[in-house]
Homo-oligomer: A and B are copies of this chain.
Amino acid sequence: MDSAHPEFMETLQNFQFIRQLNEDTHSKSITLLGSIADEKTGKEEQSILLVEKLHFHASEIPVLVSSRLQSPKLTFNNDIYHWYKSNIKNDESIPDIKMTLIYPATEIHIKKYSKQEGVMVRETPDMYKQVVLPYIEGFPTSRIQWVYNILDKVQESERIVFEDPDKEHGFILLPDSKWDQTTMNALYLLVICHRHDVRSLRDLRSQHLELLRRIQREIPKAVVAKYPHVSEDQLKLYIHYQPSYYHFHVHVTHVALSSSPGATVGKANLLDTVIDNIENIDHEYYAKCTLSYVLGTDHGLYEGVQQYLNAPK
């Protein structure tokens, strides 16, 4: 608290709204342009006001429903799902809160909606060899049968957007199941390579540069040809580490999807950076580097990583 400036206590009350500059509906924040008259000179000065809803306060959570909400209104229900809107107690009619009630709820619902804890892991080349590689090699191939079904056109062949059929350097492009295929700001596709022997980012060497460069060159063209409302420079291509399955694939999203958890640093590795690292920095970059990422405590690797870290060195 800077108590030397009590005048700013009054300043905000003099804010005259001009226009909205921006908003973020995910974080519930708005940015407003206004003017404030200087208290001494009367001169109008431009000012910007960022307003953001605050998160719930820990102390209010146990009593939120019983004492802080005012006359919740049911807006819709379907089976065990019930949707409401409500106000935090106040004298106005604009709703401040939306709620989904799942009732009755099973243990599966409870697990699904419970917090997954994560910890930062620094995977050195040695940790990869001792812990991660055996984990990958123990993966039943049945877990990636669905990938082979796509590559062999047994499944989802009608969804293929583009194919480079080269068995060594080629790949298939298709929409990710998370994408509705209409909202361009949420564009999300997947590139799955034809060759079966690249398990992850860790396996990439200079022999794979041709595959990586073809993806970098051909995918933006193919996406824009199919979805002309996006441009090539609005696409972000990245590789997950750890991936959710160990057959090399690349995520293709709109740059506006920057706050999706899958685009977070550590999990996502830009294709451009990967190519630059192998081509211009060191051909053996992914054999030598330490890869840092958040590992969920319920991930299959978690226990092995903890044992490795706690083992006497």
Size of A's binding interface in residues, CB under 8 A: 125
A137 within 8 Å of B (CB atoms): no
- Flag the segment in A15-23, A126-134, A140-148, A199-207 that touches B: A15-23
The prevalent SS among residues of A at the interface is mixed
Q: Which residues of B contact A36 (CB under 8 A)?
A: 103-104
Asked if A122 contacts B272 (CB within 8 A), the reply is yes
The distance in angstroms between the C-alpha atoms of A98 and B105, with both chains bound, is 34
Asked if B282 contacts A5 (CB within 8 A), the reply is no
Among B9, B28, B57, B62, which residue has its beta carbon within 8 angstroms of that of A54? B28
Ordered by A's residue number, 30 sampled pairs between the chains whose C-beta atoms are within 8 Å are A2-B76, A2-B155, A8-B77, A12-B82, A12-B101, A17-B62, A17-B63, A21-B115, A28-B28, A28-B56, A30-B56, A53-B97, A54-B95, A54-B98, A57-B94, A57-B182, A88-B92, A89-B92, A118-B234, A119-B233, A120-B255, A236-B265, A236-B266, A258-B261, A265-B267, A272-B290, A273-B292, A280-B288, A281-B289, A282-B282
